[in-house]
Amino acid sequence: MEYTYLGRTGLKVSKLCLGTMNFGPYTSEEESIKIMNRALEHGINFFDTANVYGWEKGVGVTEGIIGRWLAEDKSRRDKIVLATKVYGKMGDGPNDQKLSAYHIRKACEDSLKRLQTDHIDLYQMHHIDRNTPWEEIYQAMEQLVQEGKVIYVGSSNFAAWNIAEAQMIAKQRNFLGLVSEQSIYNLRNRNIELEVIPACKRFGLGLIPWSPLGGGILCGILEKVKEGRRTREPLHKSAEKLKPQIEAYENLCKEIGMRPADVALTWVMNNPVVTSPIIGPRTIEQLDENVKTLGLKLNEDVLNKLDEIWPGPGSQAPEAYAW
C-alpha cells in the first residue's frame, strides 16, 4: 500500500479510502466485516462513513456495523483513520440536522456511541449550512477537539468560496480549520477542476474524491449490458444518454488493455492534488480489483484521448471561460 499526507497535516493515510456507504443497504454485515478485514490486510488505513448511511433515519446503520467490527477486536481502532460526517437528518425534531452547535454536539456523541470509540479522527461537515455562522460551527468543533472527541475537521460538497471563508475564519480563531474536502470527481464529472481543486491546493486541503467510477458509468457498463448482467434502472438510463462517449471510452480501454474501472480510478489518482479516492466495494472481489490499480499510470497519449472523450473545463477559473 502507498501512503500520503492528508493535506497539510502530518497524518498519513492510504492512497485508497474505504467507503462504507454500501454497508447495510447493499452489503450484509457479515460481508461488510470481511471487506474491512481484507482492507486492513491490503494496508488500507483510511475508512470513511457518515451518520446517515444505511438510510434509516436516526439509526446510523453503517456506523453501527463499523462499531461492532471495532468492538470485536480493540486493536483495530488504532490501525485506521476513521472519518464520519455530520449534517444529515437524524430525527424528526427541528434541530436534528445541519450544523448548529446544538446538533453537532449531539450528532458527535451519537456517532461515537454507534462507532464504539472515544474519538473520531476526521469529522466532516457533509454539506454547507448557509443558515449557521462559522463562529458557531467552529465553537462546537473546537470544543470537540479540546475534549479529544475529534482530531481533525473536514468538509464535503463545499464550494471553493465556502472553503476560503472557512479557512479565513479559522485563522482568525487560531484554529487549524479544514484539512480535507470530499467532492464528487471522476472523468464524467470534472466540475471541481474550475475552483474547488485550486482552492484545496491553495489552502492545503486533502482532496478525497467520491464516486471516482461515476456511479458505475465508468465500469464497462455497455459490456455488462451485452453480457446480460443486470444494472440499476437510473444507471441504465444514464448509460443510454451517454452511449457515444461510453462506447469511445470502453473501446479505448480495450485498446490499452485495461479494465474501464481501472482506467477511471487511475485517472483520478493521477491528479497530484488528490489524496485518496473513495472506493465503495460491495464485495471482497471488487475491493481486490480496486487495490490492483495502485501504481498504474496512464501515458500522455491516453490522457489526451480521455480528455477528448470526457472533456473537462480545460483550465481553472477564470481562465476556463474568461480568456
Percent of the chain whose predicted confidence (pLDDT) is above 70: 97
pLDDT surpasses 90 at 77: yes
The confidence score (pLDDT) of residue 183 equals 98
Range of the domain at 41: 3-215+260-322
Q: Is the residue at 159 inside a domain?
A: yes
Q: Is the residue at 148 inside a domain?
A: yes
The confidence score (pLDDT) of residue 230 equals 60
Q: What is the pLDDT of residues 302-312, one digit of tens each?
A: 999 999 999 99
Of residues 227 and 267, more confidence is placed in 267
User: Contacts from 68-73 at CB under 8 Å and sequence distance 24+?
Assistant: 68/29, 68/116, 69/32, 69/33, 69/36, 70/115, 70/116, 70/117, 71/116, 72/33
The confidence score (pLDDT) of residue 239 equals 82
Q: Which of 3, 5, 26, 53 is catalytic?
A: 53
Q: How confident is the model at residue 233 (pLDDT cuts 50, 70, 90)?
A: low
Query: In angstroms, rounded to a whole number, what is the distance separating the alpha carbons of residues 66 and 140?
Result: 25
CATH classification at residue 288: 3.20.20.100
Q: Is the residue at 97 inside a domain?
A: yes
Q: What is the pLDDT of residues 31-65, one digit of tens each?
A: 999 999 999 999 999 999 999 999 999 999 999 99
Q: Is the residue at 234 inside a domain?
A: no
**Within 10 A of 313 (CB to CB), how many other CB atoms are there?**
15
Average confidence score pLDDT of the chain: 95
Question: Is-contact 296 266, C-beta < 8 A?
Answer: yes
Looking at the chain, the number of H-run helices and the number of E-run strands are 13, 10
| Beta carbons within 8 Å of 272's beta carbon, 6+ residues apart | none
Query: In angstroms, rounded to a whole number, what is the distance separating the alpha carbons of residues 14 and 1?
Result: 7
pLDDT surpasses 70 at 88: yes
Query: In angstroms, rounded to a whole number, what is the distance separating the alpha carbons of residues 3 and 14?
Result: 4
The confidence score (pLDDT) of residue 104 equals 98
Question: Is-contact 104 140, C-beta < 8 A?
Answer: yes
Is the preceding omega at residue 94 within 30 degrees of 0, hence cis?
Answer: no
The confidence score (pLDDT) of residue 234 equals 72
Using alpha carbons, select from 170, 167, 193, 196 the residue that is nearest to residue 181. Answer: 196
Q: What is the pLDDT of residues 119-165, one digit of tens each?
A: 999 999 999 999 999 999 999 999 999 999 999 999 999 999 999 99
Sign (positive or negative) of CA dihedral 126, 129, 132, 135 = positive
Of residues 24 and 226, more confidence is placed in 24
Q: Is the residue at 115 inside a domain?
A: yes
Span 218-245, mean pLDDT?
78
Domain total for the chain? 1
The one-character DSSP state at 258 is -
The confidence score (pLDDT) of residue 232 equals 63
3-state SS string for 291-319? HCCCCCCCCHHHHHHHHHHCCCCCCCCCH
Span 184-210, mean pLDDT?
98
Q: Is the residue at 239 inside a domain?
A: no
Q: Is the residue at 226 inside a domain?
A: no
Q: Is the residue at 240 inside a domain?
A: no
- Catalytic annotation present for 53: yes
Using alpha carbons, select from 12, 15, 5 the residue that is nearest to residue 209. Answer: 15
